[in-house]
């Protein structure tokens, strides 16, 4: 079997100096054949059964479905939330939830706001104490404590907030899982 050597003159010339063979690579395909309208059957006719009345299963909402208007308030016309939900937990009161030995109601969501305010106040007191201590040692350290001393208390506040959000998220997951069961 003999091979013929490559002959560049056999390639048709194009106007593209970078890719001279591009005219052969990107040829447009021929158009599709025209449909024969005399023998074609209509495919757009839909059966009339598709437009019949909806089935009985779709007529009314099911009893387990409880759409919420906003944050636990049931919409009018639907039953109230189940007993283990946020609304029931808020109705119990703080001390009833605190001393609930079955641990079916959570006290953390109501305490977390207070704990976060305490964390902010303690961080501010820590910063003020740092400034006072720094000024008692040296004026330069006092100015440095005013300018840079707020960074560590701010980072602590951010960490406190993240930890509290994680705990509240876990409790919300537990409450929503209890509703599903």
Q: The pTM is what?
A: 0.47
Q: Is the pLDDT of residue 42 over 70?
A: no
Q: Which residues lie closer than 8 Å to 167 by C-beta, 6 or more apart? A: 108, 112
Q: Which residue has the higher pLDDT, 101 or 56?
A: 101
**What pLDDT digit, counting tens, does each position of 14-23 carry?**
565 555 555 5
Digit-coded pLDDT (tens) for 72-94 = 555 566 555 555 455 555 567 87
In SS3 terms, the chain reads as: CCCCCCCHHHCCCCCCCCCCCHHHHCCCCCCCCCCCCCCCCCCCCCCHHHHCCCCHHHCCCCCCCCCEEECCEECCCCCCCCCCCHHHHHHHCHHHHHCCCCCCCCCHHHHHHHHHHHHHHHHHHHHHHHHHHHHHHCHHHHHHHHHHCCHHHHHHHHHHHHHHHHHHHHHHHHHHHHHHC
Give the whole-angstrom CA distance, residue 68 versus residue 9.
77
CA distances from 113 to 7, 86, 97, 117 (A): 83, 16, 16, 6
Enumerate residues 6+ apart whose C-beta is below 8 A from 157.
119, 120, 123
Write down the domain spans for the chain: 107-180
pLDDT at 8: 61
Report pLDDT digits (tens) over 106-158. 888 888 999 999 999 999 999 999 999 999 999 999 999 999 999 999 999 99
């Amino acid at each position: 079997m003999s091979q013929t050597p490559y002959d560049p003159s056999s390639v048709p010339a194009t106007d593209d100096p970078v890719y001279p063979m591009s005219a052969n690579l990107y040829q447009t395909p021929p158009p599709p054949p025209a449909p024969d309208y005399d023998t074609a059957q209509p495919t757009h006719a839909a059966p009339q059964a598709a437009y019949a009345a909806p089935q009985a299963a779709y007529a009314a909402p099911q009893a387990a479905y409880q759409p919420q208007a906003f944050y636990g308030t049931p919409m009018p016309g639907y039953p109230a939330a189940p007993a283990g939900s946020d609304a029931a937990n808020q109705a119990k009161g703080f001390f009833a939830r605190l001393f609930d030995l079955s641990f079916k109601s959570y006290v953390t969501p109501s305490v977390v706001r207070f704990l976060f305010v305490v964390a902010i106040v303690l961080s501010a007191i820590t910063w003020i104490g740092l400034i006072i201590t720094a000024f008692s040692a040296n004026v330069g350290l006092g100015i440095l404590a005013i300018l840079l001393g707020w960074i560590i208390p701010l980072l602590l506040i951010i960490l406190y907030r993240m930890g509290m959000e994680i705990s509240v998220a876990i409790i919300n997951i537990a409450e929503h899982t209890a509703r599903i069961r």
